[in-house]
Every structure is written in structure tokens, then in C-alpha cells.
Amino acid sequence: MRHGRSRTGEWLLLAAALGLVLALLAAPEAPEPAEAATPVPVPAAGPVDVQVDRAATRLAAWMRPLAPGERPPQFVLFSFDGAGSHRHWQRVLALAGASEARITAFLSGVYLVPDGERRRYRPPGRAAGTSAVGFGGSDAEVDVLIGDLMEARRRGHEIGTHYNGHFCAGDEPSVGRWSTAMWDAELDQFFAFVEAARARGLDLGAVRGGRTPCLEGRWAQAYPAMRAHGFTYDTSRPTDGIVWPTEEHGIREFWMPSVRVPALRKQVLLMDYNLWMAVNGGRDEPERAAEFSDTVLGAYRAAYTAATSGNRAPLVIGSHFNRWSGGGFFDAVERFMAEVCLRPETVCATHSDVNAWIDLQDPEVLDVWRTMPPAHVPRP
């Protein structure tokens, strides 16, 4: 369940022994096989710095209070968990640039720790050096990751946390049972790994939020630890429909929407892993990758239409750096990014971008929108 890297023999053994955490909600990351199932139409690309400026300008045009009665922009928040695959970083950086998109990547802190130093990680309630998603590989691989993260930062993307060892229900003690003290210990270590990587050239700036492994957690326990570590938001919790972020214990929650997927005629959480489970029960069927890509793209389009024509709530698209089942799921994310981010009144932004935009708003003006019913994809 390495987020997008393949060197995971030990993880696979561990997963098999655990009877597979895969049955669970979101999350797991699988080894990445080879090629893209379908070519992704990449918008015309210009020089990187021009793209970065365009994305910033697109956002800046909306960084002001809305006038009473004015429609909010349709924010789309592309977000990637794990963030440890060089190949995926290259694809996402190129596509986001061409699409004038700013994205959020949630880094698993253990990827900053070379395999040989794994015992530096002491997971809450278990032996040092344990992780469900492996570690950072060789020193050279950690350096490549740091290069990717720094390039992402330079381009205006945001790096948040996906925490460290990725322990989901069934792999106990899983994050869903952690106390505030355990969340504190986990976050202390995430920041220690980031700090130690400074010597190798990493500078993440302020880390303002994250997504929990498998979207699990006891929130009354987790939020105080997030706050204590300077977080302003979380984006882990599933909800029915597309809704505006809400605030609790000083943390703004960017909810993960669950919407009706037209091709499947059922409601699914808009997270790549859950979509895979819904499409074919999580089987590896690379020959059907193009079909899966169309199904998932259809889900994203329907969700976007529901939000834009409804409450205009920011749309969170959760994904991993993966090539599951021939890559159809990641292709769908790429196709959606390529087609949606350049639309009028649409801004593909980071979580902290949208957080800052919300803070600028007159609460009464925004309430007109955020008290509207959740956006749902209608039945035909």
C-alpha cells in the first residue's frame, strides 16, 4: 500500500497476513504497474513559470469578499494521498501546470525516512520501524522525493500530511482507535521527519492540514492534536452530498463527498479506492481500464454539475498516486483536471487557498450559499 511505489514486498506480506485491510473504506495504495490505459488530453502547455503565474492569477481574481448575491467560484480541490511516487509527481505537475490548477498532496511522513533508518519511526502502540506503507527506500529515492516536493511547492501546490504508518481498521491499534496522545505522537514524528529532511534540502513551509489514513479517526480525539500542531483544516470525513466546510474544535473540515455515480446507479464516496470497490469490487482488470476511466470521469462530471448548479460548495476530489486496475482511476482524475480547471468561474485550488478565501468572506453573504442543501447528483 505504498502510495504509488512498487517496492513493497514486506508490505504485501504484512497485508496478506492481516487478511487485507483492503476491505476498508478509502486508502490503500497498491504497487504500480506499467502504462496509462488511455491517453490523457493535456491542455496546451507553456513555460512552467507562465503556467504557475496563470494559476496564481486565476485564484487571485477571486481573493476578495463576494458581493451580496454574487455567485462563489466553483472551487475544485484535487488532492493526492501518499505523494511518494516520482512518476506520478511528474504527471501531476505537468498536467496541473497546463490546467492552471493548484493541488494539495498529503505526504506520508515515513517516505522521508530511508529504509535503513526505519527504526526512527515509533508508531503509537506498536514496535519501532513498523509501517503499513513501507518507508522511503534508498537515500537516493528520498532525495528524488524531496526534489518533487520542493518543485511542487515552487509551483504553488500545497503539501499536507497523510500521517505516517497508515494503520487502518483491522491493523490494530488502528488510527480509528487512537487517543489524542497517540495522534500527538504521530504528528510530532511527522514534523520530526520533515525537520530532519531539512538537511537534505526539504522545506515544506507551514503544514496546515491533512487526510487521515483510510479516512479513519475518532475526531474528538484527533482534532485537538491537529490544533496543537498548528493545523487549520482536515479533509478526511465522508458525508452525504457536496457540502461547504464546517468548523469544529478550531479545525475546518473539508468533507469528502459521497454522490450518486450515474453509470453505477448508486452512491459512492468520491475517493479513487472507494470508486474501485464500487466498480468491480477492487479486482485487477486492466483490460477494463478505459471503461472504468469513463465511469469515474462521469461521476466527477456529475458531481461538478451538481455543485455548480446548486450550493457551489468546494468539490473535493480525493485520489492516490496509483495505477489500480490498469490505471483507469488515475486517468479519470487526469482527464477531469484537464477539462474542468480552465472553465469560467472555476478555480482548482489548494485546501489552504480555499481556507483563506472563506476567511475573507462576509459570513452573512456566504451563509446564503452554505446553508443551502447539500448538492446531490439527481436520479435520471
Q: Which residues bind Zn ion (CB under 5 A)?
A: 27, 81
d(C-alpha 233, C-alpha 220), whole Å: 14
As measured in angstroms, the least distance from the Cβ of 287 to Zn ion is 26
As measured in angstroms, the least distance from the Cβ of 24 to Zn ion is 10
**Nearer of residues 26 and 297 to Zn ion, judged by Cβ:** 26
Residue nearest to Zn ion (CB): 27
**Nearer of residues 27 and 110 to Zn ion, judged by Cβ:** 27
30, 1 in Cβ contact below 8 A? Answer: yes
As measured in angstroms, the least distance from the Cβ of 178 to Zn ion is 16
Query: Would you give the distance in Å from CA 204 to the centre of its chain?
Result: 17
Q: Which three cell numbers stand for residue 159?
A: 503539501
As measured in angstroms, the least distance from the Cβ of 174 to Zn ion is 13
135, 109 in Cβ contact below 8 A? Answer: no
**Nearer of residues 141 and 216 to Zn ion, judged by Cβ:** 216
**Nearer of residues 81 and 148 to Zn ion, judged by Cβ:** 81
223, 251 in Cβ contact below 8 A? Answer: yes
66, 12 in Cβ contact below 8 A? Answer: no
**Nearer of residues 114 and 318 to Zn ion, judged by Cβ:** 318
As measured in angstroms, the least distance from the Cβ of 233 to Zn ion is 17
313, 74 in Cβ contact below 8 A? Answer: no
d(C-alpha 287, C-alpha 290), whole Å: 8
Task: Label residue 131 exposed, middle or buried (CB < 10 Å: 0-12, 13-18, 19+).
Answer: buried
Task: Label residue 118 exposed, middle or buried (CB < 10 Å: 0-12, 13-18, 19+).
Answer: middle
d(C-alpha 268, C-alpha 25), whole Å: 11
**Nearer of residues 27 and 93 to Zn ion, judged by Cβ:** 27
- Other C-beta atoms closer than 10 Å to the C-beta of 137 total 19
As measured in angstroms, the least distance from the Cβ of 150 to Zn ion is 22
**Nearer of residues 27 and 103 to Zn ion, judged by Cβ:** 27
Q: Report the SS3 class of residue 267.
A: strand
As measured in angstroms, the least distance from the Cβ of 163 to Zn ion is 9
Give, for 238, the enclosing helix (H) or strand (E).
strand 238-240
**Nearer of residues 81 and 184 to Zn ion, judged by Cβ:** 81
As measured in angstroms, the least distance from the Cβ of 82 to Zn ion is 6
Which of 287, 279, 285, 293 is CA-nearest to residue 330?
Answer: 293
